[in-house]
Structures are given as structure tokens and as C-alpha cells.
Amino acid sequence: MTYVIALPCVDVLDRACVEECPVDCIYEGARMLYIHPDECVDCGACEPVCPVEAIFYEDDVPAEWADYTRANVDFFDDLGSPGGASKVGKIDKDDPLVAVLPPMGEDH
């Protein structure tokens, strides 16, 4: 099991979760952040610091955002497991689910 970042993060990219993550497994895409499912140690430190409540334990992702579980996995298909987001930096792509979304405002 792992944690998942969902729709409320799109175009927000607050990064409080990145600063809180003890294993550096939260990667930045073009429009949202993604948790690497193999690098996450399920500590839960990221969840309470998210200002838009976009982070959920995998079993607790709301049904309307269930596709974000897959998106957090598929984002890493080409990237693999680099072993730390800080050494990779921002990745100029997103999962197709996110890439096709219209720009998000403050009230999504």
C-alpha cells in the first residue's frame, strides 16, 4: 500500500508534502505532484500537511478520484525508481489523466 495524490493538487503544487516526506518519494510533474508507490514507506507524514487535502491512503481515495491511484503508478513507467525526487527535480510531464485537464483555479 501507498499514499496517493489526487485532483486537488492539480495546478496547486504546494510542496509542503515534499518538505515533510522523510524518504523523498514525492516527485513534481508539470501540473501536480506524484508519490512513487515503490519508494513510499507509508509513514503518512505527507497527508496532514497538504493544504488542499489531496493526499489519501490508497484504500481511502474517494471513488470519484480512484483513477489517480493508477496515475500515481503510471507516472513512473518511464522514470523507474530513481531513489529520490530531489536529485531528479521537476519532470516536465504528467500522467495523461492530468495532462488533459483544463487549467484549475482556486475553487476546484
**Residue 45 grid cell:** 507524514
Q: Is the pLDDT of residue 106 over 90?
A: no
Phi-psi region of 3 (alpha: psi -120 to 50; beta: other; left: phi over 0): beta
pLDDT in tens, 26-70: 999 999 999 999 999 999 999 999 999 999 999 999 999 999 999
Does a structural domain hold residue 38? yes
Q: Cα 75–76–79 angle (5° rounding)?
A: 125
Confirm whether 20 is domain-assigned.
Answer: yes
Full domain range(s) for residue 11 = 3-81
Assigned domain for 36 exists: yes
Q: Write the pLDDT tens digit of every residue in 65-105.
A: 999 999 999 999 999 999 999 999 999 999 999 999 999 86
How far is 61 from 14, CA to CA, in rounded Å?
A: 19
Does residue 19 fall inside a structural domain? yes
CATH number of the CATH domain containing 48 = 3.30.70.20
